[in-house]
Chain A
């Protein structure tokens, strides 16, 4: 592959991933409202376009038209930096996710992954940890006690749940033997999905994922009923839009990561027996992955419209006293079983 072809191929892939994340985040807002409505026996938005499909566009236009307010007492630079960091970090996580195997076109091999770094999981963890700075900086720069409380809650929540999440992933890495997301996805052919080997690990991971994405029941950083929106209380216009958007992108990305880590990524059982050409298989793989992702996004919403918010002390209790010991236990068990099997 020549260098120019390589650059074009990567650029196309990057832009595609970026656009898909944005579109999915956009329609997640629509889906969220529809799911909420359906679970409450309502219809939901149905006026803008057929079935209300243009609602996200209308929302976006509304966000842009709103007055841009920067509080006088706030630090202007940090105030703008906050949502930018949140948006940026949530967009770059998609780079390491293997969206499919690879396409063979004209003798070239186009892997459907922007970059396969051999520490893919660590990259994801690192980037999501930076993501919390977006919230913290925004909350701090707002110079508002509600924002600050929201930011404090966000950071303490992230720190507590990242530990359990990391420990759950360590157990997973022990079974797969690789940190590369591509390697993990490729290893889960047929029924060898990691959920079968790591059910407890998955449970811990998904709970932590809820906490990391600030979704109900762990949406304490925003909790509109106590903190009037938390860290984004002072934000308006598109800067608020960025925060909300970043949250939906995060939801999409964590759904993608959950599907890749525990639910076989682009693999689907029995599909190998159909004897399809590799290219068809690759495209089908992308479809399967997105089906799984959409299920998880629905799951996120389903939980949100079912469970009330945790109290903050309950949240900390759950994180430190239950999830962390549980994940250490999970790690020990995994290690023990591996030791027995390889004797």
Chain B
């Protein structure tokens, strides 16, 4: 039979030789190995002081971006919710009233937008589906909490803060934007134009 790895060993029930029966050589060999490890470099990362390097495209907590004028980009089209394999996103749409142009970019906006972070698998499909470049995943880690309730993130947490916008330039690279202008995504064209 072909072995799956190069490290597999054939097990046998052969009688142990006298030296093997003494156990002591094997025990000493084992103790040498453990002593070697005693002086090896430790692999532990002391977490709060030290953190692991994160991948530049790490997918963590979502952000709902605003456009360059500070108006929310999301138009409550629901494509993210449809794309979401975990069915984590729910929203309620509302119509923009006159005078709210500075708040919402499109005529229809999401009055409620919730992502259940316990359901979310951080696949990033919502980000891919969004025609308005509104939702992005960031490198922020979701905090732990005591209540299930606390993991349903509403607009208060998700929407980009006005004073210090969250940088998503890593995920919104030129290549990404170019990719989204592909003829296959022609329906996006109109919308991506308004983006810088």
Contacts and interface: CB of A to CB of B under 8 A. Distances in A.
A125 B24 CA distance: 26
A42 B30 contact: no
Interface stretch (B42-50, B139-147, B187-195): B42-50
A42 B46 CA distance: 10
Given A42-B44, A306-B31, 7 more contacts: A38-B37, A38-B42, A41-B42, A43-B44, A302-B35, A306-B27, A306-B33
A43 B42 contact: yes
Interface in A233-265: none
B185 interface: no
Chain B interface, DSSP helix/strand/loop, else mixed: helix
Contacts of B30: 306-307
B174 interface: no
Interface of B: 27, 30-31, 33-35, 37-38, 40-44, 46
B25 to A, nearest CB: 13
Contacts of A58: none
Contact of A38 (B27, B31, B38): B38
A149 B40 CA distance: 39
Interface of A: 35, 38-43, 46, 302-303, 305-307
A43 B42 CA distance: 6
Among B34, B35, B38, B42, the one with the most A-chain Cβ atoms within 10 Å of its Cβ is B34
B16 to A, nearest CB: 12
B34 A43 contact: no
Among A39, A42, A302, the one with the most B-chain Cβ atoms within 10 Å of its Cβ is A39
A43 B27 contact: no
Contacts of B43: 41-42
A302 B33 CA distance: 11
B42 A42 contact: yes
B44 A307 contact: no
26 contacts: A35-B38, A38-B42, A39-B35, A40-B37, A41-B37, A41-B40, A41-B41, A41-B42, A41-B44, A42-B43, A42-B44, A43-B44, A46-B46, A302-B31, A302-B34, A302-B35, A303-B27, A303-B31, A305-B34, A306-B27, A306-B30, A306-B31, A306-B33, A306-B34, A307-B27, A307-B30
Contacts of B41: 41
Contacts of B40: 41
A25 B122 CA distance: 48
Contacts of B34: 39, 302, 305-306
Contacts of B35: 39, 302
Contacts of B42: 38, 41-43
A46 B41 CA distance: 16
A41 B42 CA distance: 5
Nearest to B30: A306
Given A306-B27, A307-B27, A307-B30, A39 B37 contact: yes
Given A303-B31, A306-B30, A39 B46 contact: no
B38 A39 contact: yes
Among A40, A43, A306, the one with the most B-chain Cβ atoms within 10 Å of its Cβ is A306
Contacts of A38: 37-38, 42
For the complex of A and B, list the 5 residue pairs with the smallest distance between their C-beta atoms, beginning with the closest.
A43-B44, A306-B34, A39-B34, A306-B30, A38-B38
